[in-house]
Structure 1
Amino acid sequence: MKVFVVFVFAVVAVQALTDEQKEKIKAYHKECSAQSGVDQELISKARKGDFADDPKLKEHLFCFSKKAGFQNDAGDIQKDVLKTKLNAELKDEAATDKLIEKCAVKKATPQETAFDTIKCYYENSPTHVSIA
């Protein structure tokens, strides 16, 4: 399966990652899928920009976000980590800052934060990088 990471927040294309990083992403996806019980079709659709308002998908995205370091266990967004990852993809610090300001907004729950942030990145990133 071709994997791209937005996660919550890290819009980093897999092609730019090392083999070790690719393996970590696959492992995170597998662990979070098992933990959340998310329907794999919902993940496939989200990769194409169709984000279902589904609790298991939201839990999957939060799990992935924590493992990738984009959110802590309390659900707080780790903006420094996001900035590093996003800027590596976008290669434009001003655009990265604008995207973080617009999208990295804490919501009522950590799961909502992960979901809304990833969806916002997908909709507002110039490359429409898909999620893991």
Structure 2
Amino acid sequence: MKVVIVFFALVAGISAATLPESEKTLLKQIHDSCQASPSTHVDENLLRHMTQHSQNPKVKAHMLCMAQGAGMMSHSGVLKMSVIKSKMAMTMHDEHLIDTTINKCVIQKEDPMETSMDMWMCFMQNNIGYMHAL
């Protein structure tokens, strides 16, 4: 199966450390769990081309599920900054860059789906190395 980066990074842009295998496994389990639920299941081709489908309600629901499953957002939709920072630190080692990216990408909005989707899209645009491959 062709490996495609789903979110958080574009292969060409990754210059940071590789995500630990344990975290890759966790992300795969979270993805599979989100795919198993009818409310968060989405065609994986839409995920493979997420930038073109960022306004798709199914993509948004799936990415919200991923954020909540990874512990980056509570089930009530509140971002967990310390968790997000620790996830980013797995592949980024520049504290200032992590803080700058958090200030740019991790913005609480009224709608949890919008909050989550905007965060993932910003992470992709800024080549954040926290990723899941299909």
Taking structure 1 as the reference length, what is the TM-score of the superposition? 0.79
Note closer, same or farther for the CA distance 1:30–1:23 as it changes in structure 2 (3 Å cut): same
Note closer, same or farther for the CA distance 1:63–1:14 as it changes in structure 2 (3 Å cut): farther
Note closer, same or farther for the CA distance 1:37–1:5 as it changes in structure 2 (3 Å cut): closer
Output aligned runs, 1:22-101, within 5 Å: 22-35=24-37, 36-46=40-50, 49-101=51-103
1:128 and 1:83 map into 2 onto residues whose CA distance is: 11
**% identical equivalent positions:** 27
Report the 3-state secondary structure (helix = DSSP H, G, I; strand = E; otherwise coil) of the residue aligned with 1:77. Answer: coil
Note closer, same or farther for the CA distance 1:121–1:108 as it changes in structure 2 (3 Å cut): same
1:5 and 1:32 map into 2 onto residues whose CA distance is: 15
Taking structure 2 as the reference length, what is the TM-score of the superposition? 0.78
1:84 and 1:118 map into 2 onto residues whose CA distance is: 16
Q: CA deviation at 1:50?
A: 3.5
**Structure 1, unaligned runs of 5 or more:** none
Equivalences, count: 123
The higher relative CO (CA closer than 8 Å, separation ≥ 6) is in 2
* Partner of residue 120, structure 1: 122
Q: CA deviation at 1:40?
A: 1.1
Note closer, same or farther for the CA distance 1:16–1:52 as it changes in structure 2 (3 Å cut): closer
Note closer, same or farther for the CA distance 1:21–1:87 as it changes in structure 2 (3 Å cut): closer
Query: RMSD across aligned C-alpha pairs, in angstroms?
Result: 2.6
Note closer, same or farther for the CA distance 1:80–1:110 as it changes in structure 2 (3 Å cut): same
1:14 and 1:30 map into 2 onto residues whose CA distance is: 25
Structure with the bigger percentage of helix = 1
Q: What per-residue deviation string (whole Å, max 9, x for no partner) do you get for residues 71-113 of structure 1?
A: 0111111100111111221211001001001111112211111
* Partner of residue 105, structure 2: 103
